[in-house]
Amino acid sequence: MILMFENFHPGIIFILVGFLAALCAPKERRMILACCPVLALLGMLRFAPGTDLQFKFLEDFTIHYLYVDSLSWVFAVIFCVFGLIGGIYSCHNKSPLEALCSMAYVGSSIGVVLAHDWITFLFFWELEAVTSTFLIWNDPRPTSRGAGIRYLLVHTLSGNLVLFGVIMKLVQGDILVHNLMAGPYDAAFWSILAGVCINVAAVPMHGWLVDGYSAATLTGSVFMSSYTTKVAVYSLLRIFGGAELLIGVGVLMALYGATFAVMENDMIKLLSYHIVSQVGYMVAGAGIGTSMSMNGATAHAVCDILFKSLLFMCCNAITYATGIRKINQLGGMAKRYPLVFICFVVGAFSIAGVPFFNGFVSKMVTIEAAEEAHMGMVALLLELASVGTFLSICFKMMYFIFLAPDKGMAPEQRAIESNMKIAMVMGAVLCTVIGCFPEFSLYQFLPFGPVGYVPYTVMHFSNQLIMGFVAVIPFLMFLPRMEPHTAISLDTDWFYRRPFKACVLGIAYLCFGLCRSLGHAWGVGVRQIMVVTDNPMQFLDARPFHEKKRYSPDNYRTSIADTIMIILTVLFICIFYFRTSL
Partner 1 sequence: MIDLVGDRTKRFKVISLAAALALVVFAVTFALGGYSEPEFLLQKPGGMVLFAFVGCWILIILAKLILTPLLQRDEDYYEKGCDDSDV
Cβ distance to partner 1 smaller for residue 458 or 537: 458
Q: How far apart are CA 287 and CA 572, in angstroms?
A: 118
Upstream peptide bond of 184 is cis (omega within 30 degrees of 0): yes
At 117, is the secondary structure helix, strand, or coil? strand
Cβ 210 to partner 1, closest distance in Å? 13
Whole-number minimum distance, CB 214 to partner 1, in Å? Answer: 12
Quick one: 53 or 410, whose CB is closer to partner 1?
Answer: 410
Closest approach of partner 1 to the CB of residue 491, in Å:
8
Least Å distance between CB 93 and partner 1?
Answer: 23
- Residue 111 near residue 124 (C-beta atoms within 8 A): yes
CB of 259 to partner 1, least distance (A): 5
Of 191, 201, 44, 196, nearest in space to 107 by CA:
44
498 CA to centre of own chain? 21
Shortest Cβ distance from residue 307 to partner 1 (Å)? 21
Cis peptide before 10 (omega within 30 of 0): no
Which phi and psi (to 5°) does residue 566 adopt? Answer: -65, -45
Minimum distance of partner 1 from residue 344's CB (angstroms): 15
Cis link prior to 411 (omega < 30° from 0)? no
Toward partner 1, which CB reaches closer, 126 or 266?
A: 266
Q: Give me the least distance between CB of 168 and partner 1, in Å please.
A: 34
Q: Are 273 and 261 in contact (CB under 8 A)?
A: yes
Cβ(401)–Cβ(267) below 8 Å:
yes
C-beta separation of 369 from 448 below 8 A: no
By C-beta, is 70 or 463 nearer to partner 1?
Answer: 463
Q: Distances in Å between the alpha carbon of 425 and those of 68, 310, 428?
A: 30, 9, 5
Q: By C-beta, is 425 or 472 nearer to partner 1?
A: 472
Q: By C-beta, is 168 or 403 nearer to partner 1?
A: 403
Instruction: Give the nearest distance from C-beta 96 to partner 1 in angstroms.
Output: 24
Nearer to partner 1, 33 or 379 (CB): 379
Instruction: Pick the closer one to partner 1 by CB: 70 or 489.
Output: 489
| Complex with partner 1: residue 377 or 582, whichever CB lies closer | 377
Smaller CB separation from partner 1, 188 or 379: 379
Residue 68: strand, helix, or coil: coil
For residue 61, the 8-state DSSP code is: E
Please give the Cα distance from 467 to 560 (Å, whole number): 113
* Cβ count near 342 (within 10 Å): 15
To the nearest whole angstrom, how small is the minimum distance from the Cβ of residue 224 to partner 1? Answer: 20
Q: b/e map of 86-105 (b: 16 or more CB within 10 Å)? A: bbbbbbbbebbebbbbbbbb
- Tell me how far, at minimum, the Cβ of 516 lies from partner 1, in Å: 19
Q: Residue 579, CB half-sphere, CA atoms under 13 Å: how many?
A: 6
- First-to-last CA distance in the chain? 114
Q: Smaller CB distance to partner 1: residue 182 or 377?
A: 377
Is 96 within 8 Å of 21 (Cβ atoms)?
Answer: yes
Nearest distance, CB of residue 453 and partner 1, angstroms: 14
**Rg, Å, the chain Cα set:** 35
| CB closer to partner 1 out of 506 and 523 | 506
User: DSSP per residue over 74-95, as a string?
Assistant: HHHHHHHHHHHHHHHHHTT---
Q: Which is nearer to partner 1, 476 or 568 (CB)?
A: 476
CB neighbour burial string for 169-191, b if at least 16 within 10 angstroms, e if fewer:
bbeeeebebeebeeeeeeebbeb
Cβ at position 451, least distance to partner 1 in Å: 18
Buried b (16+ CB within 10 A) or exposed e, 290-320: bbbbbbbbbbbbbbbbbbbbbbbbbbbbbbb
Q: What are the C-alpha distances in Å from 10 to residues 42, 298, 442, 549, 581?
A: 9, 20, 21, 85, 118
Query: Would you say 178 or 335 has its CB closer to partner 1?
Result: 335
Q: Rule CB under 8 A: which residues touch partner 1?
A: 142-143, 145-146, 149, 258-260, 262-263, 331-332, 334-335, 371, 376, 379-380, 383-384, 387-388, 390-391, 399, 403-406, 457-459, 462-463, 465-467, 469-483, 486-491, 497-498
Smallest separation (angstroms) from partner 1 to the CB of 69 = 33
Q: Is 345 helix (H, G, I), strand (E, B) or coil?
A: helix
